[in-house]
Amino acid sequence: MADNLPSRYLGTPIDRNIALELVRVTEGAAMAAAPFMGRNRKNDADGAAVDSMRRSLNFVDMDGIVVIGEGEKDEAPMLYIGEQVGNGNEPKVDVAVDPIDGTRLVAEGLPGGIATVSLAERGSMFYTHVPYMEKLIVGPRAAKVIDITDTVENNLKRIAKAEDRNVEDLTVVVLDRPRHDNLLEEIRSAGARVKLIMDGDVAAGVMAAMEHRTGIDVLMGIGGSPEAVLAACAIKCVGGSMQGRLWLRDQDHEMIKAEGKVADRVLELDDLVGGDNVFFAATGITSGELLEGVRFLGEGRARTQSLVMRSYSGTVRYIDAEHSLAKLRLRREEAKADGTEAMILDKANQAEGRLPD
Helix intervals (H) in the chain: 18-33, 42-57, 103-107, 152-162, 181-190, 201-209, 211-214, 225-238, 253-259, 269-272, 325-337, 340-352
Shortest CA distance to 81 belongs to which of 72, 92, 93, 89? 72
Is 178 marked as binding a ligand? yes
Is 224 marked as binding a ligand? yes
Shortest CA distance to 122 belongs to which of 161, 163, 90? 90
Cis peptide before 6 (omega within 30 of 0): no
DSSP helix/strand/coil, 119: strand
Is 47 marked as binding a ligand? no
Is 353 marked as binding a ligand? no
Is 179 marked as binding a ligand? yes
Is 63 marked as binding a ligand? no
Is 199 marked as binding a ligand? yes
Is 132 marked as binding a ligand? yes
Is 164 marked as binding a ligand? no
Is 250 marked as binding a ligand? no
Separation of CA 110 from chain center: 19
DSSP helix/strand/coil, 6: coil
Is 314 marked as binding a ligand? no
**Whole-angstrom distance, CA of residue 273 vs CA of residue 40:** 34
Is 44 marked as binding a ligand? no
Is 102 marked as binding a ligand? yes
Is 51 marked as binding a ligand? no
Is 139 marked as binding a ligand? no
Please state the residue numbers annotated as binding site for Mn(2+).
46, 70, 98, 101, 227
Please state the residue numbers annotated as binding site for substrate.
101-103, 132, 177-179, 199-201, 224
Please state the residue numbers annotated as binding site.
46, 70, 98, 101-103, 132, 177-179, 199-201, 224, 227
